[in-house]
Homo-oligomer: A and B are copies of this chain.
Amino acid sequence: MTNTTGKIFSITSFGSSHGKAIGAVIDGCPANLELSEKNIQKELDRRRPGTSSITSPRKEKDKIQILSGIFEGKTDGTPITGVVFNEDKRSKDYSYLKNTPRPGHGDYTWIEKYGNYDYNGGGRGSGRVTIGHVIGGAIAKKLLEQFGIKVISHVVQVGDIKAKTVNMNLIEEKASENPVHCADPNAAKEMEELILEYKNKGDSIGGIVETIAINVPAGLGEPIFGKLDGELAKALMEIGSVKGVEIGFGFDVANSTASQINDEYYIKDNNSDNNINNINIGTTTNTSGGILGGISNGMPIVTRIAVKPTPSISMLQNTIDLKNCEETKIEIKGRHDPCICPRVTVVSESAVAIVLADQMIRSGFINPSNLSQNID
């Protein structure tokens, strides 16, 4: 199994839903970044279950402990290990899952591949492992912040309810004001009602999460393999439940012409010296989502992911009893999210931030060893 992602700034994730702990080792973060457990805890709290009526009621404090990598309040260039010990496990709930894979979950493929499967709460297949992503994302975001880069996520669709476009500068604030994390307050209200409706039915509903990165410099990514959009697509598709990834105009390009969507260049800002390196170039539209030919162009990077409805539902479903080799039915007990999109927002931010942090170093914008060499 491979549990590491990132070429220079990398995350090695470990742990399972009902084991001792979940965590991640973040390697390749340059020294001299101020970092504390608070910076990470703040992000973990956004992912935590039990915070509203539309998330799973599992009670977990998800308290972070940093075991290594920080010296006198700053990163020292060594690997940063963040660990969350599991508390509210209730593993007795899960024994009936041992031989009957849940439809829509990874149980069956896991058993098929590894043989020995920790079925408690989905084991390492649980959404709970995204704690590792969020630890990594929190550090990546702190690093990107030093260079003015901001990564923000919001829910733009739940079922058939679509949010209206919101000014980019308001998204973060507006999305934080409701449990759905949708920046359009009217849509947010409708989405919440829809989610509760499915919750009451014992069913769940999908949606779309948009993630935007602003102030990303032109020049991240590579033109053939290692494209910035390729790395983002991988990182976003690796979030459990994601079945589609779009950059910029996404699938709408299929029914567009080049004359409609080619982003034309203009001079945003021309300093008096007429030196091309000091001229700020922009595009009048941003259908490319900030990436052209695999490389960022300085415009906001815009990604969207299609998130499927949580497969854990209380309705009776057909499956196989792998022990007795016969078809059977399953009713999944336990505590589920009727729509996982709100909790996915911070995970999507993390995925994007990790890719960007890695690319900022790989592309020579951040010194790989020592942050003060950038600043001084």
User: B251, A244: Cβ atoms under 8 Å?
Assistant: yes
User: B237, A81: Cβ atoms under 8 Å?
Assistant: no
Instruction: Name the one of B77, B207, B233, B234 contacting A114, with C-beta atoms under 8 angstroms.
Output: B77
In the complex, the chain B residue whose C-beta lies closest to that of A10 is B4
| Interchain CA distance A315-B264 in the complex, whole Å | 12
User: B219, A369: Cβ atoms under 8 Å?
Assistant: yes
User: A104, B363: Cβ atoms under 8 Å?
Assistant: no
Number of residues from A at the complex interface, CB < 8 A: 159
Q: Chain A: interface secondary structure?
A: mixed
| Residues of chain B with a CB closer than 8 A to A295's CB | 106, 109-110, 112-113
In the complex, the chain B residue whose C-beta lies closest to that of A160 is B255
**With contacts A109-B295, A124-B78, A224-B129 known, is A3 near B32, CB below 8 A?**
no
| Residues of chain B with a CB closer than 8 A to A222's CB | 1-3
Interface residues in A102-119 by Cβ distance below 8 A to B read 103-110, 112-118
Asked if A53 CB lies within 8 Å of chain B CBs, one says no
User: A256, B309: Cβ atoms under 8 Å?
Assistant: yes
Stretch at the interface among A141-149, A164-172, A179-187, A285-293: A285-293
Asked if A294 CB lies within 8 Å of chain B CBs, one says yes
User: B265, A108: Cβ atoms under 8 Å?
Assistant: yes
| Residues of chain B with a CB closer than 8 A to A247's CB | 237, 243-244
In the complex, the chain B residue whose C-beta lies closest to that of A101 is B265
In the assembled complex, the CB of A155 is this many whole angstroms from the nearest CB of chain B, namely 10
Asked if A373 CB lies within 8 Å of chain B CBs, one says yes
User: A363, B370: Cβ atoms under 8 Å?
Assistant: no
| Interchain CA distance A101-B317 in the complex, whole Å | 56
Instruction: Name the one of B15, B83, B255, B265 contacting A159, with C-beta atoms under 8 angstroms.
Output: B255
| Residues of chain B with a CB closer than 8 A to A105's CB | 292-293
| Residues of chain B with a CB closer than 8 A to A251's CB | 208, 243-244, 246, 251, 306
